[in-house]
Chains A and B, each alone.
Chain A
Amino acid sequence: MSLAPNTETSGAPDAPPAVALDGNGEEQAGASADARQFISFQIGEQEYGVDIMAVREIKGWTTVTKLPNTPEFVRGVLNLRGVIVPIFDLRCRFGMGATEATKLHVVIIVTVRERTIGILVDAVSDILTATADQIRPVPEMESEQKEDFLDGLVTVEERMVALIALEGLFDNKLVAAATSAVADVSTTD
């Protein structure tokens, strides 16, 4: 899998937040009452998490049917037991270029605002438990585009996991905006 050439943007989140969170890494305790669980997955070197309550199922990548005139990060639709489910390429959504999907890639089916969608990721790694105070806000960054769909950051065993706000990521209104944004990214470099 090749990362897209525009590494400035993809590399950016790693450095500053990792420093910021190092001091808090030891706070991990047993699951308390307000603990939330996340499914963590990987895109390239980076680890992300989605709220486990939103996850419906996890399945291997299969061929999808392309939708015409949609942004590049919309990979297409697939048949999930009779329901047509759109699949979004998260790597591409983050502006890191399209994923060259193989059978080893994973689609996480999630429910966002009563819609069922799939997100294409490299691999699913773990189930995390984090209490509210373990979740750190996302530091201000230059790339505005990304902040909208990050919910917070959490450190697990020295790894930093970025929690994804699905609502922000695939809100319908944002799809249109993202379309132009993606077009900008792909045309500017």
Chain B
Amino acid sequence: MSGPSDSQIEQFKATFFEECAELLGDLEQRLSVLEGGNQDIEDLHAIFRAIHSIKAGGGTFGYVRMVTFTHSFETMLDHLRDGALEITPEVVDILFRASDIVADLIDVAQQGGTPDDDFGDEVLAQIDQILASMAKAEGAAEGAAAGSEEAADEEAERIGSVALFQIDFKPHPSLLRNANEPLLLIRELRTLGELTVQLDASQVPSLHALETEDLHFTWRLMLRGACREADVREVFEFVDDDCDLTVERLEPKGDRDAEAGTGSSRSEDKTPADKAADKAAAPAEQAAAKSKSTGGEAAGKERRTSSIRVDLEKVDKLVNTVGELVITQAMLTQQLEALAADKRARIASGLEELSTHTRELQENVMAIRMQPVKSVFSRMPRLVRDLAGKLGKRIKLITRGEETELDKTVIEELADPLTHMIRNSIDHGLEGPEEREEAEKPVEGTIVLSAEHRGGRIVIEIADDGRGVNRDRVLEKAIDQGLVAADAKLSPEEIDNLIFAPGFSTAAEVTDVSGRGVGMDVVRRNITNLGGKITVQSTPGQGTKVILTLPLTLAVLDGMVITVGDQKYVVPLGNILESFRPKPEDVQTLVNGGQVVKMRGEFMRLVGLARIFDVPNATHDPSKGLVVMVESDSGSSFGLVVDELLGQQQVVIKSLEANYDPIEGISAATILGNGQVCLILDLDGLEAMDKLAPRDLLEAATLAREPAPAPAPTPAGEPDPAALDDGAAPEQEEPQGEPAGLDDPSSLEQPS
């Protein structure tokens, strides 16, 4: 093979883009830190490294614009690093915008497009302007306030133009695998001066132990040239993580170098020289030199907590296998019961140990998929900053609990809803400075974004100290938009939650920030799709708090196992409100065959699982079985008629659709301890099934089963509108389709 095949290149590209995404994430975070005034030089270095890596990768794949743009970006960062350029808010702003351009360029490249040649020119112009003004300032200051570059030259002159360095370059075995080439480094060094190379091949293992992809050589390089130690180190900048490097200046030995212990001269070593140099330049140079060394240390730390990139599919496979192991182990335990007691004891203790280990294994495997929410929280400061600037508001974002861990899939799905909600808070919730002053609030508005674990779920809160939900306005709008009836009486909480209704928006004018009314209902849908819940709490004048409750992982669900006839089903525990056995007189059958139950003076719709699913041998009479009151994800509540509750259990969610079609009323399946498959109920689906055509389903079911379809009970007697108001009449408990004055069970819930 002469070179990598197309598919390999595609693969390399995919890896490059993956890396870019990570680098950009890191970049954003570091920029936010810089903006916060916490000007750690290490952040600048990280930013520089990120941009440089993108440039290098972009060059490899021939993304011209990406290279030219990042090059200018890099130049600016370089000046920031060496202190020639100060970190001012304007500079940070340009950095942000430049990183946006880089992100756009990567996006375009990923989609296989080619950006215009002048893409991002505006930002480039700004960069040039900044650099130009910097140069001017430098020039004006003349020798007195010389830039660090000049100081460095001075230093080089001071120590004599030629120095001898001893460089011990000990690459780690993994150097080659990370696509680095020592030869290139050595060639690069040769450009700095006269180089003597000494190869130490003593570490090369014998042939049978040789790992061909590992590097076993170390080098001692002697360099005589007119350069600074920093120049030498810079050659090795990109293999920093993959080698042990010591650079020692052997001659000319100044008094300061004699003090240097290991010879890897740190900032202190240079201080005398810098002191001698101009005062303005000294701190900068010192900082730069110091950061070099701390940068090395930081890289060392990272190395210890190293990570590998694993295909998510592989992890899922592992999760599956472990799930199987857990089930097998549960089955073994069950079978053990059948053994005689004397034989059982020893096996039992072994099995117990096994179960401890499997549980541990399962937890650990699940933990692989877990990531801190930081990765999505870190995108928010940027958003707040941009929007606040655009809307002329002053806003402080506080994030808490960023280390809270959550399943990777959930985190990915969380970004959009969070963005929407923060936007909403900024646009609708928080007031402008004047209004805040009038309300005697701090001029700066606060948004608190927090995450924490609570009872096996994760709770994410977005709280602002703005004006709160304007209930009058919300209600008015909702009535205008036909979302609620004009005469509806709603509790304050109900009004607050109207903001999640599809198509709802209170913004007087549609801004490009929000107000199109495709915000909160989308948020709600996203969250419910994740098995989560969303609620809003608001205090007028004091603020709004949106609370998201999410499952820790999409793979596991807390469920209640119920029985209907000989079938078992799982009801998501988070949706269960309560369960009870109604008195016969509290149950009424409506004219269309639907049932309602009276509960604390209210009539709640009943959904007969046995009827909808056509389960034989099940209790159809709720007063002989149980009613489980549930709240579906869309917010309506109803009672499920079941036979029995078996108990609470954490179940692993398995897709049914992988090998079969979606089934109405069923969201997924799981495997119980005995190895049997158990279906997980989809409450929204059940509700729709019951609402749509309860009788059609009944008919279809009977049709398939028996030759003669049993006709649904026909209404007998006069409809009695007073029946509901009077409460349950005893004779109406019979499931004989007695008229109850309501021919549509849904009319009970929607006072329209």
CA distance A115 to B655 in the complex (A): 12
Among B636-677, those with CB < 8 Å from A are 654-656, 658-661, 663-666, 669, 671, 675-677
Q: Closest CB of chain A to B132's CB: distance in Å?
A: 61
Q: Interface with B: A30-38, A72-80, A143-151, which one? A: A72-80
CA distance A67 to B615 in the complex (A): 10
Q: Mark B660-703, 1 if CB is under 8 A from A, else 0.
A: 11011110010100011111000000000000000001001101
Q: Is the CB of B679 within 8 A of A116?
A: no
Q: Mark A1-41, 1 if CB is under 8 A from B, else 0.
A: 00000000000000000000000000000000000000000
Partner of A187, one of B612, B678, B703: B703
Q: Closest CB of chain B to A52's CB: distance in Å?
A: 20
Contact flag A69-B697 (CB < 8 Å), given A77-B669, A183-B703: yes
Q: Is the CB of A172 within 8 A of B661?
A: yes
Q: Is the CB of A84 within 8 A of B677?
A: yes
Confirm or deny: B704 has a beta carbon within 8 angstroms of a beta carbon on chain A: yes
Q: Closest CB of chain A to B680's CB: distance in Å?
A: 11
Inter-chain contacts of B656 with A (CB < 8 A) = 77, 84
Partner of B707, one of A69, A82, A186: A186
Confirm or deny: B110 has a beta carbon within 8 angstroms of a beta carbon on chain A: no
Confirm or deny: A107 has a beta carbon within 8 angstroms of a beta carbon on chain B: no
Contact flag A69-B701 (CB < 8 Å), given A78-B677, A79-B677, A81-B324: yes
Confirm or deny: A85 has a beta carbon within 8 angstroms of a beta carbon on chain B: yes
Q: Closest CB of chain A to B494's CB: distance in Å?
A: 33
Q: Is the CB of A65 within 8 A of B676?
A: yes
Q: Main SS of chain B's interface residues? A: mixed
Inter-chain contacts of B697 with A (CB < 8 A) = 69
Inter-chain contacts of A186 with B (CB < 8 A) = 704, 707
What is the number of residues of chain B that contact chain A, defined by CB distance less than 8 Å?
A: 35
CA distance A76 to B568 in the complex (A): 13
Confirm or deny: A55 has a beta carbon within 8 angstroms of a beta carbon on chain B: no
Inter-chain contacts of B617 with A (CB < 8 A) = none
Q: Mark B595-632, 1 if CB is under 8 A from A, else 0.
A: 00000000000000000111100000000000000000
Q: Is the CB of B613 within 8 A of A86?
A: no
Inter-chain contacts of B678 with A (CB < 8 A) = 65
CA distance A77 to B655 in the complex (A): 12
Confirm or deny: B470 has a beta carbon within 8 angstroms of a beta carbon on chain A: no
**Nearest opposing residue in chain A for B709, CB measure:** A187
Confirm or deny: B321 has a beta carbon within 8 angstroms of a beta carbon on chain A: yes
CA distance A183 to B709 in the complex (A): 12
CA distance A66 to B701 in the complex (A): 14
CA distance A63 to B678 in the complex (A): 12
CA distance A116 to B658 in the complex (A): 8
Partner of A83, one of B614, B658, B679: B658
Among B520-572, those with CB < 8 Å from A are 567-568
CA distance A183 to B613 in the complex (A): 17
Q: Is the CB of A69 within 8 A of B614?
A: yes
Q: Is the CB of B321 within 8 A of A82?
A: yes
Q: Is the CB of A82 within 8 A of B323?
A: yes
Contact flag A63-B704 (CB < 8 Å), given A77-B656, A84-B655, A84-B659: no
Confirm or deny: B320 has a beta carbon within 8 angstroms of a beta carbon on chain A: yes
Q: Mark A67-101, 1 if CB is under 8 A from B, else 0.
A: 11111100011110111111000000000000000
A63, A65, A86, A175, most chain B CB atoms within 10 A: A65
Confirm or deny: A164 has a beta carbon within 8 angstroms of a beta carbon on chain B: no
A84, A85, A115, A186, most chain B CB atoms within 10 A: A84
A66, A78, A115, most chain B CB atoms within 10 A: A66
Contact flag A115-B677 (CB < 8 Å), given A68-B613, A82-B654, A183-B704: no
Contact flag A66-B664 (CB < 8 Å), given A84-B669, A117-B659: no
Inter-chain contacts of A50 with B (CB < 8 A) = none
**Nearest opposing residue in chain A for B704, CB measure:** A183
CA distance A117 to B568 in the complex (A): 22
Partner of B665, one of A63, A68, A84: A68
Q: Is the CB of B567 within 8 A of A115?
A: no
**Nearest opposing residue in chain A for B324, CB measure:** A82
Q: Closest CB of chain B to A110's CB: distance in Å?
A: 11
CA distance A171 to B703 in the complex (A): 24
Q: Is the CB of A77 within 8 A of B323?
A: no
Among A131-176, those with CB < 8 Å from B are 172, 175
CA distance A81 to B697 in the complex (A): 34
Inter-chain contacts of A53 with B (CB < 8 A) = none
**Nearest opposing residue in chain B for A179, CB measure:** B704
CA distance A54 to B704 in the complex (A): 31
Q: Is the CB of A79 within 8 A of B671?
A: yes
Confirm or deny: A64 has a beta carbon within 8 angstroms of a beta carbon on chain B: yes
CA distance A71 to B663 in the complex (A): 12
Partner of B659, one of A63, A70, A115, A183: A115
Contact flag A82-B671 (CB < 8 Å), given A63-B676, A68-B615, A69-B613: yes
Q: Is the CB of B567 within 8 A of A66?
A: yes
Q: Is the CB of B677 within 8 A of A64?
A: yes
CA distance A117 to B659 in the complex (A): 7
Confirm or deny: A121 has a beta carbon within 8 angstroms of a beta carbon on chain B: no
Partner of A116, one of B654, B659, B664: B659
Inter-chain contacts of A63 with B (CB < 8 A) = 676
Inter-chain contacts of B669 with A (CB < 8 A) = 65, 77, 84
Confirm or deny: A182 has a beta carbon within 8 angstroms of a beta carbon on chain B: yes
Q: Closest CB of chain B to A108's CB: distance in Å?
A: 14
A64, A77, A82, A85, most chain B CB atoms within 10 A: A82
Q: Is the CB of A86 within 8 A of B659?
A: yes
Q: Mark B318-330, 1 if CB is under 8 A from A, else 0.
A: 0011011001000
Inter-chain contacts of B327 with A (CB < 8 A) = 79, 82
B324, B661, B697, most chain A CB atoms within 10 A: B661
Inter-chain contacts of A69 with B (CB < 8 A) = 612-614, 663-665, 697, 700-701
CA distance A76 to B666 in the complex (A): 13
**Nearest opposing residue in chain B for A66, CB measure:** B567
Partner of B666, one of A67, A85, A117: A67
Q: Closest CB of chain A to B662's CB: distance in Å?
A: 10
B327, B615, B666, B679, most chain A CB atoms within 10 A: B679
CA distance A117 to B658 in the complex (A): 10
**Nearest opposing residue in chain B for A74, CB measure:** B660
A63, A66, A68, A79, most chain B CB atoms within 10 A: A68
Q: Closest CB of chain B to A89's CB: distance in Å?
A: 14
**Nearest opposing residue in chain B for A88, CB measure:** B660
Contact flag A68-B659 (CB < 8 Å), given A79-B676, A82-B320, A183-B703: no
Inter-chain contacts of B660 with A (CB < 8 A) = 67, 77, 84, 86, 115, 117
Q: Is the CB of A83 within 8 A of B675?
A: no
**Nearest opposing residue in chain B for A187, CB measure:** B707
* 5 closest cross-chain pairs (CB), A and B: A68-B613, A65-B677, A86-B660, A82-B324, A115-B659
Please report B residues at the A interface, Cβ cutoff 8 Å. 320-321, 323-324, 327, 567-568, 612-615, 654-656, 658-661, 663-666, 669, 671, 675-679, 697, 700-701, 703-704, 707
25 A-B residue pairings within 8 Å (CB atoms): A65-B676, A65-B679, A66-B567, A67-B660, A67-B663, A68-B679, A69-B700, A70-B663, A72-B704, A77-B677, A79-B675, A79-B677, A82-B321, A82-B327, A83-B658, A83-B659, A84-B655, A84-B660, A85-B659, A115-B658, A116-B658, A172-B661, A182-B704, A186-B707, A187-B703
Q: Other CB < 8 Å A-B pairs besides A69-B664, A182-B704, 8 of them? A: A68-B614, A69-B613, A77-B669, A79-B676, A86-B660, A183-B703, A183-B704, A187-B707
Please report A residues at the B interface, Cβ cutoff 8 Å. 63-72, 76-79, 81-86, 115-117, 172, 175, 179, 182-183, 186-187
